[in-house]
Structures are given as structure tokens and as C-alpha cells.
Structure 1
Amino acid sequence: MTIDMKPEVQIDANYYKIAEIRRLTEHAFILSMPRSRFKFVAGQHVSLSIPGDYQSREYSIYSAEGGTNLEVLVKEVDGGYFSPKLSHLKEGDMVEVHGPFGKFGLDEKNLKNNRHVFIASGTGIAPFHSMVQSNPGLDYHLIHGVRYADEAYERDAYDAGRYTLCTSRDDKGNFRGRLTEYLKKTDFDKNTSFYLCGNSDMIFDSMEILSDKGFGRENINVEVYF
């Protein structure tokens, strides 16, 4: 959804009004803010806080580099402190944004020559959504590991033939099982750049699998969530 930007929406360099809250599941949602002059490279993240609160959290940017809005994908953590507060925000509420930060991004030297394989668990798909939306025509394959198929956040944003959904607790994805099991059973071309984003256990296990397949650290880019 495109939001018309108005001069009063951005109060200063760091404060933004929530323009839209897009609910994806019972616990996952997208916070959308007018981007204004905010510049970033797909793969980077921001630090997000609520005015008056002493805590902040880092979130990968979900939206395209040239998009109208700045968006982040959030999953509410049961018993957590910060994400439930974000979940209770409404359109028009203020958030404070710092950044962008990080060097996680596409392998520029091999951008045209390599296939780019994105490996994500859960909301770790966020930077890959930004990369795909920012680079039309990109040769990519997105492998997304979740528990249930309804956690395939906005899967229609990806070419069906380039998106593999691995579901560990139902059989409604493209592959029944953990994404690491899918990796073990899949062959990859030697001219492949890998990008991993999600929880640390998935990342370490995936790196070991890729190493066994002959891919070194120079082929792998990593963003660890926790």
C-alpha cells in the first residue's frame, strides 16, 4: 500500500509516525513508516525504540531501497518485553529509528555472475525481501524455514519457482522438514553466493552443511539474529 507522505509525518531526523500496521499472522506484523530521506542498502538493519521507553531492538529492513515506505518485520515474542509493546502500537503512533547499520548485503563482485541463495529461518527472511524487491531480475533462490506454512510471510512477493518453503510441523510447504534437511539433499552450482539470516543454531548447522558440500567462508554471508 502506498502512503502519501506529508511534511508533518517526520518530526525530526529520527522520529517517524506509523503509517500502516500490516498483520501477517496472529503474532507477526509489519510496521510501515514513510521513508522520507532515509537511505539504506538492502540487507541493513535499524535500531527501533518507542519514545519514552529505555529499551530498543534491532530489526532488518524489510522494504525496498527505492520504496515509498520504510518497513520492518516483527514477530511478537511471548513473554518478551519489547515486541509486545510494538504489537500494541497504532497508526499515528511515534517510533524512533536509528541507522541504518550493518554490512550484510549482496555480493557485489559476483552480483551478475552468481546465483544468490538466501537461507532464512522465521523473520530472518526480512533482509532477503528487501534484496529481492530492490533488485529486479536477480538470479536468486530463497529457502525459508518455518514451523507452519502460515508463517511464510508474504510469499507472493517472490517468484514461485525461486522460493522453497520448508515446514517442520505441517506438510503444507514445498518440503516437509527443517531447512537444514533440505540443504543436505540439495546440490548447488559452484558459482553460488550464500546468505544466511536467522537464529544461530540454524546458521551454524547450515554453514557446516555447506562446508561439507565444498563451499568456503568466502562464499557465505551471515547475519545472526540470536
Structure 2
Amino acid sequence: MAQWLKGTVTANTHWTDTLFSIKVQTEPFDFIAGQFVRLALDTADGKAQRAYSLLNSPGSKEQEFLVSTVADGLLSPLLQQLKPGDTVQVSQPASGFFILDEVPDGENLWLISTGTGIGPYLSMLGTETPWQRFSSIILLHSVRFEAELVYQPLIRQFQDKYGKQLHYQPVVTREKSVGALQQRIPDLIQSGLLQTACGQSLDLQSQVLLCGNPQMITETKAVLESLGLKKNLRRDPGQITVEQYWK
């Protein structure tokens, strides 16, 4: 049974009408970048809870979560309304195996996400692990609208610190955006446009993490397999590691 920490909301940033980030102060706890906890609120119908990846890196003073509001959801609309000083419960311990410890070595590391799936990647990039293990890192974030390209200042901090070791590639599918590609991720890979834009190969020397909606993951995984890559398993290491956000 999960243990629960009392958390105090310190900030709630609304990126769009349905996308927000919430910061929560709790007593310190250990986790590995890429893991998740559950947030919960007590309601008239009982405890409403859901798993969210930690966006902050280990050792941060606050826990941070990127949340998409589901109109008929039991929890996300309530979280969106929280204000500094409000209370939210945070589960312990953190869970999940979408972590770099589970990823084999490679030449380049592709961090491919849709929507809120960028969260665990930002947590990973705030640690030394990826920078020490991979000569090139590609952070790809696909969204519908430009306003959903969140955490630009943080991404620029990584670029300023690590230079050409990091390539950030936005994809905006429903409107034109300067510097962004516009096609779906599987199509970009299949055509080679993504590899060309990023100046990186996608081959057996690559490690690819996929995080986001199931359709993207299923279709992108199939395209990667057509290129000769295979799913990474402990008993049979490969190049594709998956975290499916929408259950």
C-alpha cells in the first residue's frame, strides 16, 4: 500500500487552457530521474489519484509535474484549480523503470515525446547521467500548437551548458512554427526528414526513448523496427525503450 506525504502547492503555471505545471513542496525523498509518483486529493467521492512523472531532477527542493487537463477526469481538473498554499498528497515511494539505468549504451540518445511526455526527459537532462554516457542527445517534443512547447527557458539552459551535445527539435502538427517540423513523428522518421533535421542517425548505435500517447508509440516503434531496431528488454537488450502515458 502506498504511503502518502503531505505536499503544499508553491506554484501553478498555466501554459494553455488545458496544460499546466504544478510545483509541490514536500519533505525530501529519493527517486531516479524518469520515475513517477501519484498525486491525490480527497473528494466527496473518495480519494482521487493518478500517476504523474516527476519533471524535476533528484535533489530538487520542490517536486514538479506537467499535467494535461482531461475534461471529464476525476483529478486533473481539480489539480488545475489549486493555488499556492493548497494541499495535495504525494505517494511514496517513487516507481517505474523508464530510467536511464535500464537503457544500454549507445552513440546517440533520442528522447522522443508528445505532450506531457517531455516531463521525465527534463528530469533526466537535469542529471549528469545522459551527458556522460551519450555523445549526442536529441530532445524531440511534438505538440499540436506552439503554445504547448513548454519549458523553453529550461531547455535553453541545457543548450547553453552542453552546447552541440544537445539538439532540441520541436514538432508542431496543427500550425506553422518557426524552427519546428510539422509532420507526425513516424512519418518524419520514415522519410528521413527527422534524421536530416537533427543531423543524427537512427541505427543500431542509437538508443531511443518513446514517451507519450499510445498511437505515436505504436506507430513509431513499428517504423524503428523496420530500420532494424528492436525493443529493449533486460533479458534481450535493444534500442527502443517505451513509457506509455495514456492508459
Fold match, TM over 0.5? Answer: yes
> 1:103: Cα distance to partner?
1.0
In 1, distance between residues paired with 2:26 and 2:240? 30
Question: Conserved in 2, the CA contact under 8 Å of 1:149 and 1:167?
Answer: yes
Matching residue within 48, 62, 69 for 2:62? 69
Equivalent runs, 1:49-60 vs 2, <5 Å: 49-52=40-43, 53-60=46-53
In 2, distance between residues paired with 1:209 and 1:98? 36
Map of 2:146 onto structure 1 = 149
Matching residue within 171, 189, 213 for 1:183? 189
Map of 2:234 onto structure 1 = none
Unaligned runs of 5+ in 1: 1-11
* Identical pairs, percent: 29
Which of structure 1's runs of 4+ aligned residues deviate more than 3 A?
107-111
Map of 1:221 onto structure 2 = 241
Question: Conserved in 1, the CA contact under 8 Å of 2:12 and 2:80?
Answer: no
Question: Conserved in 2, the CA contact under 8 Å of 1:117 and 1:141?
Answer: yes
Indicate how the Cα distance of structure 1 residues 50 and 109 shifts in structure 2: closer, same or farther if over 3 A, else same.
Answer: closer
Aligned residues: 214
Question: Conserved in 2, the CA contact under 8 Å of 1:104 and 1:222?
Answer: yes
Map of 1:115 onto structure 2 = 108
Question: Conserved in 2, the CA contact under 8 Å of 1:61 and 1:126?
Answer: yes
Question: Conserved in 2, the CA contact under 8 Å of 1:62 and 1:72?
Answer: yes
> 1:137: Cα distance to partner?
6.7
Question: Conserved in 2, the CA contact under 8 Å of 1:51 and 1:94?
Answer: no
Matching residue within 100, 105, 114 for 1:106? 100
The answer to whether residue 213 in structure 2 is matched with residue 208 in structure 1 is no
> 1:203: Cα distance to partner?
0.4
Unaligned runs of 5+ in 2: 196-200, 232-237
Map of 2:198 onto structure 1 = none
In 2, distance between residues paired with 1:151 and 1:57? 22
Indicate how the Cα distance of structure 1 residues 162 and 35 shifts in structure 2: closer, same or farther if over 3 A, else same.
Answer: farther
In 1, distance between residues paired with 2:48 and 2:130? 39
Map of 1:166 onto structure 2 = 171
**Helix, strand or coil at the partner of 2:37:** strand
Which sits farther off after the overlay, 83-92 or 29-38?
29-38
Question: Conserved in 2, the CA contact under 8 Å of 1:62 and 1:73?
Answer: yes
Counterpart residue type for residue 204 of structure 1: T
Question: Conserved in 1, the CA contact under 8 Å of 2:204 and 2:239?
Answer: no
Q: CA RMSD in A?
A: 2.1
